[in-house]
Amino acid sequence: MEQNQDQSLFDMNMDSTTQSHLLSISKWTKFISITGFVVGGLFIILLAALGSEIISKFSAIFSFGDANMAGALIAIVLVVLLVMGCWLFFLFRASTLLKKGVQSRDTAQLAEGFKAMRIYFIFSFIISLLSMLSTLQSFA
């Protein structure tokens, strides 16, 4: 652990206030990600239990006509679930690594935590861009 804490001219110090902010960020991000996993899990269980019924109702409402459209709908839902799962995974990873990094004073783990946070923000940007486009399409 010692070699990770080498100081250079570019290093900055993190005081106890910053560390407490990081621990608080870790706490909230863990809560959000676990809640997301639980809600996503419930959604998957619901989809597995009532999937065929939901698809037949949707087919009747939107008159899909053939099974291919229903299959496309399932594929879209699965892709959305996968993207959301990755998004929440990186939030959870950032939470865990930041907490471990601060508590054990390990700068390598802290750096990994910030890396996970960076990926989380990239996912957030892509997801919000897609949701914005779909909302604007619904306005048009």
Partner 1 sequence: MEQGQSSSLFEMNFSQESRSHLAETASWARFLAICGIIFIGLLIVGGILISLAFTRTASRYGSYNNFGAETAGLGAGMIVMYILMGLLYFFPCLFTLQFANKMKDALASNDSLMLSESFRSLKKTFRYMGVLTIIGLAFFVLALVTGGLSALMF
**Quick one: CA torsion of 48, 54, 55, 56, rounded to 10 degrees?**
130
100 touches partner 1 (CB under 8 A): no
How many residues of this chain bind partner 1 (CB under 8 A)?
Answer: 44
State which residue, 70 or 120, has the beta carbon closest to partner 1: 120
For the purposes of burial, counting CB atoms within 10 Å of the CB of 127, is it exposed (0-12), middle (13-18) or buried (19 or more)? middle
Q: Select the residue interacting with partner 1 from 1, 19, 58, 82 (CB under 8 A).
A: 19
Q: How far is the CB of 90 from partner 1 (least distance, A)?
A: 12
43 touches partner 1 (CB under 8 A): no
- Which residue stretch of 45-53, 56-64, 67-75, 128-136 sits at the interface with partner 1 (rule: CB under 8 A)? 128-136
State which residue, 82 or 122, has the beta carbon closest to partner 1: 122
10 touches partner 1 (CB under 8 A): yes
Tell me the DSSP string of 39-101.
HHHHHHHHHHHHHHHHHHHHHHHHT--SHHHHHHHHHHHHHHHHHHHHHHHHHHHHHHHHHHH
